Amino acid sequence: MSADDEVPYRYRVRHLTRYAYGGEVVHSHQLLRLLPRPMPFQSTLQHQVIVTPLPAFRVDGFDAFGNPVSRLQIDRPHDSLCVDAQMEVEVRARPARPAAESQPWDAVVQSLHYTACPLGVDDLEVRRYRSESPYVRIKRDFSDWSAACFAPDRPVLECAEALMHKIYAEFTYAPGETLIATPLMDVLRDQRGVCQDYAHVMIACLRSQGLSARYVSGYLRTLPRDGEPSEELIGADASHAWVAVYAPPFGWVALDPTNNLRVGRDHVTLAWGRDFGDVSPLRGVILGGGEHELTVNVSVQPLPLAS
């Protein structure tokens, strides 16, 4: 790793969500995942969430996956809701993980099989990302489509990166053509979608091969840094999604199939779970309101490099 690679990147992130309701909302409960997850290579320097109208109370804590969450209750009538999350985050380089030095994928699959032996907390944590989840089904179609990436005894990280390259090469990034409710089998058939579709397909392929993979939400750098090449990153100016695969002996390694690269200092991690349903930045229950219009704006602006 060069000296430049060791310099932390800093970002100012703003995630602005507005709901305009067709009628009056008399009561609202909201769950927010808008605080970046604390990690060895990521620190939140500043953070605030401004909610309009002002909630009657707010409780901060963690969800079942260890993600920071805020639970809000708004008990005054309102016809709009604005959640303005602003933060400054420092992201450091992740350790080099040579793909060829990861364990063979088929040996990893064997190690993930349940046995009669008691499992520790870490072992149970890995296995929770091996099974089906609401948005990710385990199907023969996914294992067949990805089979060429999984030659016998091939290192698991090489397999995962080959799968990432395949998705990037064969899928078309097509905003507006899919919804979160679009069946994943349809996404695989049409090979079109956005970052959450790319991530869900990759996770479905990995799990269908017997491996553990989790869905990661966050942000992607919007603009190039001064003096750096102006490469185009797909998925900026919105919430972004990618994948982490369990690749011993390294543990979890994050890959971005939308951009065909390993996750690094250009990514800010918010939360992770089994699929999108576990990490939605904002979701809630309202009484009243009728139809609504949703607008979301995200910006990730580089700050001067840390000294």
CATH topology of domain 99-278: C8orf32 fold (3.10.620)
The answer to whether the CB of 266 falls within 8 A of the CB of 220 is yes
Residue 223's pLDDT is: 60
CA atoms within 13 A on the CB side of 183: 5
Residue listed under structure tokens 């995962």: 160
* Angstrom distance (rounded) from CA 291 to CA 120: 47
Q: Which two tokens stand for residue 158?
A: 């090489």
Same fold: 4-92+281-302 with 99-278: no
Residue-averaged pLDDT of the chain: 92
Q: 222: closest CA among 241, 242, 238?
A: 238
Ordered by start, the domain boundaries in the chain are 4-92+281-302, 99-278
pLDDT band at 229 (very low <50, low <70, confident <90, very high): very low
Name the architecture of domain 4-92+281-302.
Answer: Sandwich (2.60)
* Single pTM value for the model: 0.92
190-199: long-range contacts (C-beta < 8 A, 24 or more apart)? 194/235, 194/258, 195/234, 195/235, 195/240, 195/241, 195/242, 195/258, 196/241, 196/276, 197/171, 198/167, 198/168, 198/171, 198/173, 198/241, 198/257, 198/258, 199/241, 199/242, 199/243, 199/257, 199/258
pLDDT band at 230 (very low <50, low <70, confident <90, very high): very low
Q: Does position 107 have pLDDT exceeding 90, yes or no? A: yes
